C-alpha cells in the first residue's frame, strides 16, 4: 500500500488519541491466561493485531470482533501443531506467547519471531527470566522449542529492563500460586496496562509503575473479564510532531500525560507553546489523560543531546519523532538512540527530504535546522517509528511526495490516512495501475 502526499499545508482541528499497538498485543497474549472469555474494548484495527489474531485462531482461539469490541474465547485445550507459521513470523510479539502457554502445555514449539528490523534485539532476556519458572527454551533456525517443569521462584532479576520481557515474566508469575518479586522490571505504559488487566483478573500486584513488581498469583483464572484499552502516548506524539513540522495549531485529546511529560518539557524548552486541560481519568480507571492544544512555535535546538531512557525517561518509541522535529529547530540537535543498532541509520533517510544530517555512528546522529523540506519519493523502512517520521516530513515538504509500502506504519497506527485527512492533510492512497 502506498500514499501520495501534497505537503507544505497546515493542519487544523481536533484529533483524539487512539489506543496502542503495544497495549493491544500484550493484552491479546494475556487473554491466553484466562480459561473463560476475555472482552477487550477499543482494540485498534492494525496489522500487528491482525497477525496475532491469525495466530490465535490457528491454535483454536475463537475471536468475535464487532466494531472496536473483541470477545476472545479460548479452546478447551491448545493445539499448536496447526499454528499459522507465516503470521507468527511477521510479529515479534509471538515470543510473549511463551509466558501464558507454559501454564497450559508442558512442551510446545513456536516459530521464530519477526517485527521491526532494528538491529540485534536478542530474546535471551526472555529465556533468562522464564528459566526461573522451570522453562527450558532451545532455539533452532526456525523455532523456539519449549519444555516446562514448573517451579515457584521467590525472586527474579531481569537481565534487561525490557517491556516484553517484563510482560512475559508477569504472565509466568500470574498463574504461579505463590508470591514472585520481579526486579529491574520495565515500568513503561504497556507494562502498566498489563498489570491493570491482571489486577482485574484477580492477580495481586504491588509496585505498579516502579521497577520492582511483587506478584501474588492464582492457580487459575476462569472468569469473564472485560477491559478497555488505554491510550497510546506514541499516537499523541505523532500528532504533536505533525503539528510542529507543519507549523499548525492542533488540539489532541485524550493524551496519556504521565507518559508524555518529559517529551513535552523538552519541547517546551525548545520553544514549543501549548496549553493543556485539567487531567481526567481514562476508561480503565488508571491512565491519566489531558487535552493538548499546540500553537505555532519557533523552535531552537536543545543544548543537550536527546536520548531515551526507561520510564519515566523519554520513551524509546517517541525518540525518532525528535529527529524530524530537529529539522525545523534552529541549531544542531544530537539524537542518541543507544537502544537499537540500526534505527539512527534510518533517520538519515530524512536527507532525501532535504534534512541536514551527519551520522556519527550507528547510535548517534546530528541534525541541523531549520531546513526547508522538499518533496520526494521513498520506500518505508522496515521499522515502524522511522517510517512514521518520513510521513510527517512529507506533510511538511512542499510539493507531491510518495511513500511506498506503508505496511510498517499500518502495523502500529489505525486509519492514519483518514485521521490526517480529517485535519485537512492532502494525503490519499495511491492507486497503482
Condensed to tens digits (0 to 9), the pLDDT of residues 366-423 reads 999 999 999 999 999 999 999 999 999 999 999 999 999 999 999 999 999 999 999 9
Kindly report the CATH class assigned to 3-18+231-429: alpha beta
Percentage of the chain with pLDDT > 90? 91
Q: Is CATH 3.20.10.10 the classification given to domain 21-228?
A: no
pLDDT for 164: 94
**Four-CA torsion 154, 159, 162, 167, nearest 10 degrees:** -30
pLDDT at 116 over 90: no
Distance CA 56, CA 88 (A): 10
Give span(s): CATH 3.65.10.10, the chain: 3-18+231-429, 21-228
Q: How many CB atoms lie within 10 A of CB 16?
A: 15
pLDDT at 118 over 60: no
3-class DSSP assignment, residue 296: coil
pLDDT for 92: 81
pLDDT for 167: 98
Q: pLDDT for 161-204, tens place per residue?
A: 999 999 999 999 999 999 999 999 999 999 999 999 999 999 99
pLDDT for 114: 58
Strands (E), 2-58: 3-7, 12-16, 38-41
What end-to-end distance do the CA atoms of the chain give, in Å? 13
Burial of 120 from C-beta contacts in 10 A (0-12 / 13-18 / 19+) = exposed
Band (140; pLDDT cuts 50, 70, 90): confident
Amino acid at each position: 500500500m502506498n500514499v501520495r502526499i501534497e505537503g507544505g499545508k497546515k493542519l487544523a482541528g481536533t484529533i483524539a488519541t487512539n489506543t496502542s499497538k503495544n497495549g493491544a498485543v500484550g493484552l491479546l497474549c494475556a487473554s491466553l491466561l484466562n480459561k473463560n472469555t476475555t472482552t477487550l474494548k477499543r482494540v485498534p484495527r492494525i496489522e500487528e493485531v491482525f497477525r496475532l489474531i491469525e495466530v490465535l485462531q490457528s491454535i483454536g482461539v475463537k475471536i468475535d470482533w464487532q466494531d472496536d469490541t473483541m470477545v476472545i474465547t479460548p479452546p478447551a485445550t491448545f493445539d499448536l501443531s496447526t499454528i499459522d507459521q507465516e503470521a507468527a513470523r511477521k510479529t515479534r510479539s509471538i515470543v510473549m506467547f511463551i509466558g501464558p502457554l507454559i501454564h497450559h502445555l508442558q512442551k510446545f514449539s513456536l516459530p521464530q519471531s519477526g517485527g521491526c528490523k532494528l538491529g540485534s534485539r536478542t530474546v535471551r532476556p526472555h529465556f533468562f527470566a522464564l528459566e526461573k519458572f522451570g522453562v527450558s527454551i532451545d532455539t533452532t533456525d526456525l523455532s523456539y522449542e519449549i519444555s516446562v517443569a514448573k517451579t515457584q521462584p521467590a525472586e527474579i532479576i531481569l537481565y534487561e529492563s525490557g517491556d516484553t520481557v517484563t510482560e512475559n515474566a508477569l504472565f509466568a508469575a500470574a498463574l504461579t500460586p505463590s508470591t514472585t518479586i520481579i526486579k529491574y522490571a520495565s515500568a513503561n505504559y504497556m507494562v502498566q496496562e498489563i498489570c491493570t488487566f491482571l489486577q482485574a483478573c484477580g492477580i495481586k500486584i504491588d509496585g505498579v509503575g516502579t521497577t520492582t513488581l511483587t506478584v501474588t498469583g492464582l492457580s487459575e483464572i476462569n472468569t469473564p473479564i472485560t477491559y478497555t484499552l488505554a491510550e497510546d502516548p506514541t499516537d499523541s506524539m505523532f500528532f504533536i510532531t505533525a503539528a510542529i513540522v507543519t507549523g499548525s495549531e492542533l488540539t489532541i485529546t485524550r493524551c496519556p500525560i504521565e507518559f508524555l511529560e518529559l517529551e513535552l518539557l523538552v519541547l517546551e524548552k525548545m520553544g514549543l507553546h501549548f496549553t493543556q486541560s485539567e487531567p481526567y481519568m481514562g476508561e480503565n480507571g488508571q491512565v491519566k489523560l489531558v487535552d493538548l492544544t499546540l500553537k505555532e512555535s519557533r523552535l531552537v535546538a536543545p543544548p543537550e543531546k536527546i536520548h531515551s531512557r526507561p520510564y519515566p525517561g523519554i520513551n524509546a518509541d517517541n525518540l525518532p519523532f525528535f529527529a524530524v522535529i530537529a529539522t525545523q529547530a534552529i541549531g544542531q540537535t544530537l539524537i542518541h538512540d543507544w537502544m537499537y543498532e540500526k534505527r539512527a541509520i534510518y533517520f538519515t533517510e530524512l536527507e532525501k527530504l532535504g534534512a541536514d544530517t551527519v551520522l556519527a555512528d550507528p547510535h548517534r546522529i546530528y541534525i541541523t535546522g531549520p531546513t526547508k523540506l522538499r518533496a520526494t519519493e521513498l520506500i518505508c523502512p522496515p521499522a515502524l517509528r522511522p517510517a512514521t517520521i518520513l510521513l510527517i516530513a512529507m506533510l511538511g515538504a512542499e510539493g507531491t511526495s510518495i511513500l511506498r509500502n506503508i505496511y510498517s506504519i499500518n502495523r502500529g497506527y489505525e486509519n492514519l490516512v483518514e485521521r490526517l485527512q480529517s485535519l485537512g492533510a492532502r494525503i490519499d492512497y495511491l492507486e497503482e495501475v
